[in-house]
Structure 1
């Protein structure tokens, strides 16, 4: 009897679902909303490639992680995972301040609720609501998806303040959050514990590794 396949690690970051909602969103926005997203340096995420989840590949990549080097050791070479690389791969500027959202209570709306809010937007929805909802969708479903589906209240306040959103170094914030997740997985490897969920924008890691192998 064949043993059922069990995922060694799991993530709630589904880029295909994210892209589906972005395609629908792109059909209902006007030039004003589009320009605002460009000014915020997030317009490119409307076209982010719809990568399929590839858990076996993610699992193999995570085995190479070295917390001491903050990079992946492959064939004796350290492949650094830096803020500059995150900036290059995402189009997010590497400037501003890091956001400390993990210390806040997880009492914001669920990522599933925000996804539902995205699905009911239409051409008659006011532009401010469209922009705020998209930012919340980006933060909760792509940048920082959590296994609990919960969204920290801090991210909600940022979505309501475009000036503050622009002041944050999202490339650095993404990188630091992912490094923390890689370190957690490494510790579980060492202790031979079940890996469970990995939070965050993990498809970015797959894009990064494809770039490494290309070069």
Structure 2
């Protein structure tokens, strides 16, 4: 949970689906099918996985930077791109996506929530439906795949405008790379701070690690 004295992480499947479900429920069947073909729809309907901060904390303290793996018992276990793809139900294929943190836009997570609420209404038009789909894609990227501790949206994610943009890229690979950069950084902090001490903020799709 955010605000834990040990670790903070904002990625929550329960919070994510709570915000998108009302919008998904009013989409046309054609739009839902388009989301299914892009492998997005199951993510919008995923069950709420508990945001187990104590478990994340333990796992991060077991991470070995040299082996890029977690020491579980007597074995080193790696989190692979294929495992990220399996957890999220996304293809491990497509053009590599280069995630860059800056520049950060004025667009925030709060703004995205407000934009979702604006289009969650019992009206329909081609333009409105297109806007709904675009917001769902952006919300998935910013709030679930790459949530940042400053709650702002980097320009590289805002550049993904619709499903056609989304399906071009290998998201499991991008998520995997970003998470490992987080593991490396926090494991360095773990080395100088004792058990039970705060190690900071885990950005990215921490739900993958919990699964």
- TM (norm. structure 2) is 0.89
The partner residue of 1:197 within 189, 197, 201 is 201
Q: Which residues in structure 2 correspond to 1:74-153 (within 5 Å)?
A: 74-102=72-100, 104-107=102-105, 109-121=107-119, 122-124=121-123, 126-153=128-155
Q: Which moved more, 1:142-151 or 1:51-60?
A: 51-60
Q: How many residues align?
A: 202
Q: Verify the 8 A CA contact 2:133 2:163 in the aligned structure 1.
A: no
C-alpha deviation, 1:161, in angstroms: 4.4
Runs of 4+, deviation exceeding 6 Å: none
Task: Report the more deviating stretch, 7-16 or 128-137.
Answer: 7-16
* CA-to-aligned-CA distance 1:158-183 (integer Å, 9 cap, x gap): 1x143332110001111111111111
Q: Secondary structure at the match of 1:56?
A: helix
RMSD: 1.7
Q: 1:175 matched to which residue of 2?
A: 176
Unaligned runs of 5+ in 2: none
Alignment correspondent of 1:155: 157
- 1:52-111 Cα deviation digits (max 9, x unpaired): 221111111111111222221111211110000001111010001221121530115112
Partner of 2:8: 10
Contact kept, 8 Å, 2:137 with 2:166, in 1: the verdict is no
Query: Normalising by structure 1, what TM-score?
Result: 0.88
Q: Which runs of 5+ in 1 are unaligned?
A: 208-215
